[in-house]
Amino acid sequence: MSTAPAPSTRAPARRAWAVVVLVPVLAALALWAFAWPAARTAPRDLPLGVAGPAAATAQLEKRLRQQEGAFEIHRYDDEAAARAAIEDRTVYGAVVVTGRSPELLTASAASPVVAQLLQQAVAERAAAQGTEVPTVDVVAAPEKDPRGAALNASVLPLALAGIVAGSVVTLLGLRGIRAALALVGAAALVGVVAAALAHSWLGVLTGDWWAEAATLGLSTLAVSAAVAGCAALIGTAGIGLMAFTVMFLGNPFSGAASAPQMLPEPVGVIGQWLPPGAGTTLLRSVSFFDGAAATGPALTLTWWAALGLGTVLLGDAMKERARSAVRPAEREPALTG
């Protein structure tokens, strides 16, 4: 007599084993994605300016280059040029060496973590040698968010809003133009609400209100359109695929808590290709730097949004064509009979 388990009992057992295996794998991936970059935070080709006569800056440059791979040195003739480079987001800070004592210029609005790092690398080391290096914060972080915690905390809610919007549009069965309009409308509303909270209420964003709202909305649309577009191509599995990409790669690789150049390579570069990283960089530019260096991240977000919306429309057109091809085949037997 056979004692093999009935087919009805095999499926639940397999699902139970799938859960037992899948949960630890997901936990390991989450720890790798979030903990590894955080544990390896250090400057890697971090853009840093050095201003002053070549004879005066030579010793400083030599000392900075001894930290192999840490800094990408940019030379400037004077303090005014160095300040302009910081305001244009070309460098994160600069050391000005003139006839007087050296001076450190930072931009905590670009990254409070990097500003503190530069103080430790330049000012505190000089103080240990008996030299005082005053620090000037050229573009300071907002008084209500000096450590950039609120901006860092905004990455996850915007990503979640985009994932939810794309998922809802897909699960409700919206297609074509209706789906695209729903995605754009939801993202626009998220942008307005987020700007009202972060700028008008909390005061942690200090730039042009509408530019910030547009950035927040575009960041949401880049995610939601990608989710809906992927689902239009491969079905509901596309929701999970894009959610994984955004949550497990986009968020931890964004550099929001520090800077892209502070993350292990090539994590920082990959993060700027994904919506959370590009959105964070663009939000810093429009909120604190009058839009400086905004072109790159704006194009990245626009590319994600346009590709996602285009895929939603293309997927609907492909399904409509498939339905049109089936209808004549269904009618033909009736006509021939």
Residues 9-62 have pLDDT tens digits of 667 777 777 677 777 887 888 788 888 888 889 999 999 999 999 888 888 888
pLDDT confidence of residue 292: 97
% of the chain surpassing 70 pLDDT: 88
Mean of pLDDT over the chain: 89
Q: Is the pLDDT of residue 333 over 60?
A: no
CA distance 95 to 320: 62
Tens digits of residue pLDDT in 173-182 = 999 999 999 9
Mind spelling out the 3-state secondary structure of 263-288?
A: CCCCHHHHHHHCHHHHHHHHHHHHHH
CA distance 85 to 76: 9
- The average pLDDT across 156-164 equals 95
- Among the listed residues 102, 111, 107, the one whose alpha carbon sits nearest the alpha carbon of residue 63: 102
- The average pLDDT across 79-100 equals 93
- Phi, psi (deg, nearest 5) at residue 71: -125, 145
% of the chain surpassing 90 pLDDT: 69
Q: Give the torsion through C-alpha atoms of 74, 77, 83, 85, to 10 deg.
A: -40
Q: Which amino acid is at 200?
A: S
Banded pLDDT at 332 (limits 50, 70, 90): low
pLDDT confidence of residue 323: 66
Tens digits of residue pLDDT in 257-290 = 999 999 998 999 999 999 999 999 999 999 999 9
Tens digits of residue pLDDT in 202-251 = 999 999 999 999 999 999 999 999 999 999 999 999 999 999 999 999 99
